[in-house]
């Protein structure tokens, strides 16, 4: 009965394993299925960045390549950082920003915002909960001992 109580209170190893799974699977899928193709093709960055700048009435069109790079960076490099648990919370926040603009792009344009909103939700949960016990952040960058 004590183990069930610990489980319900979030004080068991399974919570840490859950955080690990929550980091690894979405991080892998985002990096491989979305980010890799964007980060390895810089010629796509201008078009990709237009998804963010179009919401500012054309005032930020000159920033399209920068916004495109940031989207590609967050969907690839930041997703891998979350996957391995290094700088997890800042990386997850950057992914959330990208997924917000991706969802907005799909809502105001064509397509379905569901995938972007699912990734946004997952990475927001990771940003809020932290990387968990099984991460590089916890092993090397944590200041407190649990």
Q: Using alpha carbons only, what angle is made at residue 67 by residues 35 and 78, rounded to the nearest 5 degrees?
A: 40
Expressed in angstroms, the distance from the first to the final Cα of the chain is 24
- The full set of domain ranges for the chain reads 15-139
Q: What are the pLDDT digits (tens) for 59-82?
A: 888 888 999 999 999 999 999 999
Alpha carbon distances (Å) from 54 to 1, 46, 134: 56, 12, 40
pLDDT band at 92 (very low <50, low <70, confident <90, very high): very high
pLDDT band of 10, cuts 50, 70, 90: low
- Give the CA diameter of the chain: 61
Q: What is the pTM of this model?
A: 0.84
Question: pLDDT tens digit string along 115-142?
Answer: 999 999 999 999 999 999 999 999 987 7
Q: Answer left, alpha or beta for residue 111, where phi above 0 means left and psi between -120 and 50 means alpha.
A: left
């Amino acid at each position: 009965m004590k183990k069930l109580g610990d489980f319900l209170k979030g004080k068991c190893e399974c919570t840490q394993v859950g955080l690990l799974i929550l980091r690894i699977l979405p991080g892998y899928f985002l990096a491989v299925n979305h980010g890799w193709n964007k980060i390895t093709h810089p010629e796509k960055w201008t078009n990709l960045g237009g998804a963010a700048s179009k919401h500012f009435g054309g005032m930020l069109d000159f920033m399209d390549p920068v916004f495109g790079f940031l989207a590609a960076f967050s969907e690839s490099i930041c997703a891998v950082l979350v996957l391995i648990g290094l700088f997890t919370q800042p990386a997850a926040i950057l992914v959330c920003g990208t997924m917000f603009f991706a969802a907005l792009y799909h809502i105001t344009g064509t397509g379905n915002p569901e995938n972007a909103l699912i990734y946004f939700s997952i990475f927001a949960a990771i940003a809020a909960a932290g990387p968990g016990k099984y991460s590089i952040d916890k092993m090397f960058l944590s200041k407190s001992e649990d």
